[in-house]
Structure 1
Amino acid sequence: MSPEIATYIGYAASFFIVLSFALKNLRKIRIVNMVGCICFVIYGIFSGMLWPVIIPNALLCFVQVYHLIADKKKQ
């Protein structure tokens, strides 16, 4: 992947994370934040295995999935 595309993925990740703070619906917040985290993981991989970016965002993605599944079971 070209460095320019990786940079655009990083910008998209930042956009989704910031957008998740502007939302009010908890389910939408988790989904949008998860998309941002996935983008950051992709960015970290294609920017030279940036482990300080990959690890926390991968963990946050799993946390979001867990809460989305747990909330779905409550309904």
Structure 2
Amino acid sequence: MTFLGIETVEWLGYIAMATVLVSFLMKSIIKLRLVNALGCLLFVAYGIYLQPISKPIILTNIAILVINLYYIFKKK
């Protein structure tokens, strides 16, 4: 499926990329980690949606997601 001549999987990758980039504009570290975690989830979906699937994209972003979640829920 395409939109504006770009495949759906590519759109997912662009949205994931934009989400991660926007996360670095956040002043609050918690907001940064939340938005970055969303970007990581989108990248995981992107890695799965690619054919063949991209294990490096999936594994890297799962690791970053776990790190973000650790710091979000870490007790102070």
Q: Same fold (TM over 0.5)?
A: yes
Higher helix proportion: 1
Higher strand proportion: 2
TM-score by length of 1: 0.86
Aligned match of 2:58:
54
Determine the C-alpha separation between the residues in 1 that align with 2:10 and 2:62.
18
Percent of matched pairs sharing the same residue? 34
TM-score by length of 2: 0.85
Unaligned ranges ≥5, structure 1: none
Determine the C-alpha separation between the residues in 2 that align with 1:69 and 1:58.
16
Unaligned ranges ≥5, structure 2: none
Please identify runs of 4+ aligned residues in structure 1 that moved more than 4 A: none
